[in-house]
Amino acid sequence: MLLWLVIAYLAVSIAIGLYGASKVHNAKDYVTAGRNLPFVIVLAMVFATWFGAETVLGISATFLKEGFSGLISDPLGASICLVLFGLIFARPLYRMNLLTLGDFFRIRYNRQTELLLSICIVVSYLGWVSAQITALGLVFNVLSGDAITMTQGMLIGAGVVVLYTIFGGLWSVALTTFVQMIVIIIGLLLVTNYAADQAGGVSNVIAKAAAEGKFEFLPKLQWLDMIAWIATLCTMALGSIPQQDVFQRVNSAKTEAIAIWATTIGGITYFFFAAVPLFLAYTANIIDPEMVANLLHTDAQLILPTLIMEHMPFYMQVIFFGALISVIMSTASGTLLAPSITFTENILKGFVPHMSDRTLLLATRVTVLVFSALVTLYAIATEASIHTMVENAYRITLAGAFVPLTAGLFWKRASNLGAALAILFGLSTWIILEVTGIDEPVQPQVVGAVASLCGMLLGSYLSPNRHRPSDSH
């Protein structure tokens, strides 16, 4: 019965997404929703950027294992990213009226920079989207009592998300996300309140978590620990800024003010609401400590689903799994669309000159289908946890794309040679350190980002562009 109710909810989500497809008349509608979205929908989409499988299943499991000290990248780093993007990056990028972030690299630098960094952006989404597909597989597996395997669940979940994303683009993402965010917020609050009562009240849960040291956030006052802490924070906070999914949400806003403040407030909202699944996870440690202890050694991502299935009434199970499906689908649809758009607009289009708007739209839809197949295969093959897949997603963009984006926006002297050396120094340093396994005292992607900065400074002073950025634009 529970599985069929979830299937019915999926059908409703598909219907809403297909309704969004009726608003798509050209590639711009598909990519930016006509730049016509109001504050509340942009806020919902920004919130959904990271409030996905890793927040409910991934970081909640990490919290039980490591406490706040294991959550530097998410939610802290993720929230800082959104706030920084809203306050610093949203205004200049919104004013350029671009389709993709890759367009900025072509306008500000050249085609070569656009191509290289667009490839980096597309590759970074492999683990990110796969994390959502993995979570969908887990949900269907749990709901069916193992009648649906993880692999079958992944295929079903990927098929549902693709079905409405491929037709409606960002319009479908926007409308489904708005509805799903309402379900998420109400559903998780109701379930958490019920669990808190079972665990002896909110104050009892907080007191026990504090007594176990779960709220210790800052690293030990030793320079190696502090460097590692900062490096982990920077990977998410800075490495996720040059990302198409963040940009496309900002770029879909009706006005510049909406772009700025919906993004900023969305980041703040995400940070505080991310505490809800953390609190819910710790109630499981009080309600059924034996179950938690067993799953921490096998698959900690199953703690919350198991808690709900074994210790809550049917109607709470419906509420929780409805909210969980909403969480995953809202994130999966947007993050599936982003790399597909980047590939067609900034990689494929450069090799197929004079591509018409209709052809671009068709190519993007085909790419959505192909990329969804690739990430599903990766999700099936990998053994990495949801949290690990998300953490690893932003290494390549921190090492290769953050410096060219930031320098291109805010440093007039930044040149084509500077961008080329920034990419070369950043990516080569990161790859060498990753391959050799040298990750102490600083993580390879952070060393890569420092090398990228050195490359930008060196190249821009050796060979400054003869024209100003405004002239190029």
The tokens for 18 are 């297909």
pLDDT of residue 387: 57
Mean local confidence (pLDDT), 246-256: 92
Q: How far apart are CA 140 and CA 7, in angstroms?
A: 10
Confidence of residue 470 (pLDDT cuts 50, 70, 90): very low
Confidence of residue 472 (pLDDT cuts 50, 70, 90): very low
**3-state class of 253 per DSSP?**
strand
Q: What is the pLDDT of residues 105-162, one digit of tens each?
A: 999 999 999 999 999 999 888 877 888 888 888 888 888 888 889 899 899 888 888 8
pLDDT of residue 148: 87
pLDDT of residue 455: 97
Amino acid making up residue 191: V
Q: Is the pLDDT score of 466 beyond 70?
A: no
Q: Is the pLDDT score of 230 beyond 90?
A: no
pLDDT of residue 386: 63
Q: Is the pLDDT score of 177 beyond 80?
A: yes
The mean pLDDT value of the chain amounts to 87
Beta bridge partners of 236: none
Segments making up each domain of the chain, as ranges: 2-387, 394-473
pLDDT of residue 238: 92
Mean local confidence (pLDDT), 304-309: 89
**2-387 — its CATH code?**
1.20.1730.10
Q: Is the pLDDT score of 217 beyond 90?
A: no
The tokens for 441 are 């005292």
pLDDT of residue 204: 92
Q: Is 124 left (phi over 0), alpha (psi -120 to 50) or beta?
A: alpha
